[in-house]
């Protein structure tokens, strides 16, 4: 399976159009968007999702901390699926999602505590016995290269980190901390912060028994 991972469009519709054109040319199996589609603007977020779905077979997404929380109650269609607090099977792999972020000093629209994040992940997977999990979280796990804000402070989620330690997914896709784009691992679990799409960043991920991750620009 070839997954194109995007995050952090922040309402930049021109970047979404360029991403959609890229998808139409390369035809990945799945497009995953790890949050922050549009700052507080649910209609613009919907527009970006619809733009991406023009060329993709399916688009899986979670809202980010800057998105309107109402995006978490998106009514799924055949082409566009919200993963927040859900587990959704796709081609023998179960995708689990967590949108928003843990509490920050900035009081952004979609934030919650670590306990709530942990409950959302637990409830999403309580009926899933699949060993082939992919976690899509806007907020990166705590204490990796991928949650370093300003290169100095680890601001990721302890609940996301704990979920990875306990469930050992095949792959974790995240965003949120723009300057921390990159690839890291927790044990044998690969984690990728795909970087801000509004600056032309994305990841191409080839997922079979293992994940091969390429950070790219469009």
**Coil, strand or helix: which one is 46?**
helix
Among 108-112, 127-131, 138-142, 168-172, the minimum mean pLDDT is found in 127-131
Q: Answer for the pair 134, 155: CB distance below 8 angstroms, yes or no.
A: no
Does the global pTM surpass 0.75?
yes
Q: Which residues pair with 111 in a beta bridge?
A: 101
Distance CA 191, CA 171 (A): 6
- Residue 62 above 80 pLDDT? yes
**Coil, strand or helix: which one is 119?**
helix
Q: Tell me, what DSSP letter sits at residue 128?
A: -
Q: Is the dihedral of CA 172, 173, 174, 180 positive or negative?
A: positive
User: What pLDDT score was predicted for residue 36?
Assistant: 98
- Residue 128 above 80 pLDDT? no
Averaged over 153-170, what is the pLDDT?
A: 97
User: What pLDDT score was predicted for residue 130?
Assistant: 78
**pLDDT level of residue 131 (50, 70, 90 thresholds):** confident
Q: Which residues pair with 4 in a beta bridge?
A: 31, 204
Q: Tell me, what DSSP letter sits at residue 10?
A: T
**Coil, strand or helix: which one is 3?**
strand
Among 125-134, 158-167, 181-190, 194-203, the minimum mean pLDDT is found in 125-134
**Tokens linked to 79:** 């082409």
pLDDT mean across residues, the chain: 97
Among 11-15, 126-130, 212-216, the minimum mean pLDDT is found in 126-130
Distance CA 101, CA 157 (A): 8
Q: Which of 12, 102, 105 is nearest to 64 (CA)?
A: 102
User: What pLDDT score was predicted for residue 127?
Assistant: 78
Q: Answer for the pair 19, 218: CB distance below 8 angstroms, yes or no.
A: yes
Averaged over 77-97, what is the pLDDT?
A: 96
């Amino acid at each position: 399976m070839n997954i194109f991972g995007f995050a952090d469009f922040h309402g930049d519709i021109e970047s979404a159009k360029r991403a959609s054109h890229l998808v139409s040319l390369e035809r990945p199996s799945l497009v995953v968007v790890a949050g922050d589609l549009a700052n507080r603007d649910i209609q613009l977020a919907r527009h970006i999702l619809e733009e991406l779905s023009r060329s993709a077979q399916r688009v899986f997404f979670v809202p980010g901390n800057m998105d309107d929380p109402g995006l978490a109650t998106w009514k799924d269609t055949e082409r566009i699926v919200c993963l927040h607090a859900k587990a959704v099977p796709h081609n023998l792999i179960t995708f689990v999602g967590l949108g928003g972020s843990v509490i920050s000093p900035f009081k952004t629209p979609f934030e919650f505590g670590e306990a709530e994040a942990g409950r959302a992940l637990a409830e999403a997977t309580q009926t899933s016995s699949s060993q082939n999990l992919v976690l899509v979280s806007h907020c990166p796990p705590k204490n990796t290269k991928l949650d370093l804000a300003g290169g100095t402070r680890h601001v990721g989620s302890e609940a996301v980190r704990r979920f990875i330690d306990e469930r050992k997914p095949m792959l974790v896709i995240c965003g949120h901390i723009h300057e921390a784009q990159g690839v890291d691992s927790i044990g044998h679990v690969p984690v990728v912060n795909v970087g801000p799409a509004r600056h032309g960043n994305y990841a191409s991920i080839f997922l079979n028994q293992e994940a091969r991750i390429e950070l790219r620009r469009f």
